[in-house]
């Protein structure tokens, strides 16, 4: 069971509170999209979930209470975060970056097989294995960041704007891959995305965040059909 349950989550930076009592539930193996305008606190929400910033409230993954744990402990609990800005280890090679992704896994079993699997998803990475990750293009780095997160075989995958810097065609491919991973491995996914069309296309449910509060929740279809959302975030009128 890797259901994510979040209750009354508050978080911020120093004295500045950004999230005000977030509550949401993502069922096991579901994809949940988080939408909202710039500065709403989407990135902050993912950071709070992966422990990058301190948060208060209750977070449970598969029934285990995770509140207040350090980021490395959360990684061992199966949370993988593809952060805004990718978090690439620039001087390390692509291969080292991928292997770091498997850091929390005990033993080497399957690590090489998983690298092959990542190559299957992102063939460009295969030719660049011995190259410094910093020398990859922005889009390639985004693929590396996602590949690296998958290397941990996460129970919960947090994606912060995976489409950033990717060509539209690559973005669509990427979302197809996320969907495939989600289907094959029952990985629960929370995806923050500017491209609401794509995100709603693969998500079962969605939440709209505004100034640190959830202002709208529903199934992907409901959100897509909502006139107000359509105007504000999807960029068209119904």
Partner 1 sequence: MSETDSAQVKRAPAPPAAPRRPAPAGPLAGRWRWVAIALLLAAACYAPFQLVPFHVFQLTMVLVYAVALLGLNLLVGHAGQISLGHGAFFAVGAYTTAILLDHWDGMPYPVTLPLAAGVAFLLGLAFGVPAMRLRGLYLALVTLAMAIFLAPLLKRFEELTGGSMGLTLAKPAPPAWSGLAPDQWLYFLTLVVAVAAFLLAHSLLRSRVGRALHALRDNEIAAEVMGVRLSSYKTLAFAWSAMFAGAAGCVYTWVIGFVSPDSFTVNLSITMLAGLVVGGLGTLFGPLLGALFVMFVPSISQDINDAAPGVIFGLLIIAVMYVAPTGLAGLAERLIKKIPRKE
By C-beta, is 12 or 78 nearer to ligand ATP?
12
CA torsion through residues 218, 222, 225, 226, sign: negative
Question: Taking the complex as a whole, how short is the minimal distance between the CB of residue 182 and ligand ATP, in angstroms?
Answer: 22
* Nearer residue to ligand ATP within complex by CB, 47 or 99: 47
Task: Using CB under 8 A, list all residues that contact partner 1.
Answer: 50-52, 70-72, 75-76, 81, 83, 87-93, 96, 99-101, 103-104, 128, 130-132, 135-136, 148, 152
Number of residues that bind Mg ion (CB under 5 A): 2
| Residue 1 vs 90, nearer CB to partner 1 | 90
Selection from partner 1, Mg ion, ligand ATP, none that 83 binds (CB < 5 to 8 A by kind) is partner 1
Contact (Cβ atoms closer than 8 angstroms) between residue 89 and residue 106: no
Q: Is 43 in the site for Mg ion (CB under 5 A)?
A: yes
Residue 174 beta carbon to ligand ATP: minimum distance, rounded to whole angstroms: 18
Q: How far apart are CA 209 and CA 39, in angstroms?
A: 10
Strand stretches in the chain, DSSP E = 4-13, 16-26, 31-35, 55-61, 64-65, 79-82, 156-160, 188-192, 205-210, 213-219
Q: How far is the CB of 160 from ligand ATP (least distance, A)?
A: 7
Secondary structure (3-state) at 123: helix
Distance in angstroms (rounded) separating the CA atoms of residues 208 and 218: 9
Q: Which residue is nearest to ligand ATP (CB)?
A: 43
Tell me how far, at minimum, the Cβ of 147 lies from Mg ion, in Å.
21
Q: For residue 81, what are the β-bridge partners?
A: 158
Residues that bind ligand ATP (CB under 6 A): 13, 16, 18, 36, 38-44
Closest CA to 67 of 54, 58, 80, 78: 58
Q: What's the closest the beta carbon of residue 3 comes to ligand ATP, in angstroms?
A: 24
Is residue 147 within 8 Å of 86, Cβ to Cβ? Answer: no
C-beta of residue 101 within 8 angstroms of C-beta of residue 148:
yes
Kindly list the residues in this chain that would bind Mg ion in the complex (CB under 5 A).
43, 84
């Amino acid at each position: 069971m890797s259901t994510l349950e979040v209750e009354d989550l508050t978080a911020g930076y120093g004295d500045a509170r950004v999230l005000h009592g977030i509550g949401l539930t993502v069922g096991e193996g579901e994809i949940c999209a988080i939408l909202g305008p710039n500065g709403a606190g989407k990135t902050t929400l993912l950071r709070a979930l992966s422990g990058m910033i301190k948060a208060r409230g209750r977070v449970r993954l598969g029934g285990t209470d995770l509140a207040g744990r350090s980021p490395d402990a959360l990684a061992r609990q199966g949370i993988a975060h593809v952060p805004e800005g990718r978090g690439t280890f620039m001087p390390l090679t692509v291969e080292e970056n991928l292997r770091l992704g498997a850091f929390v896994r005990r033993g080497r079993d399957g690590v090489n097989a998983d690298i092959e699997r990542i190559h299957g998803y992102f063939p460009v990475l295969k030719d660049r294995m011995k190259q410094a990750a910093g020398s990859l293009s922005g889009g390639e780095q985004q693929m590396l960041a996602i590949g690296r997160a998958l290397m941990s075989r996460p129970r919960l995958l947090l994606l912060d704007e995976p489409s950033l810097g990717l060509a539209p065609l690559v973005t669509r491919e990427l979302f197809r891959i996320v969907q495939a991973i989600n289907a094959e491995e029952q990985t629960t996914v929370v995806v923050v995305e500017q491209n609401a069309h794509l995100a709603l296309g693969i998500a079962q449910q969605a939440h709209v965040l505004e100034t640190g509060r959830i202002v709208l929740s529903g199934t992907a279809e409901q959100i897509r059909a909502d006139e107000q959302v359509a105007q504000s975030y999807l960029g068209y009128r119904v």
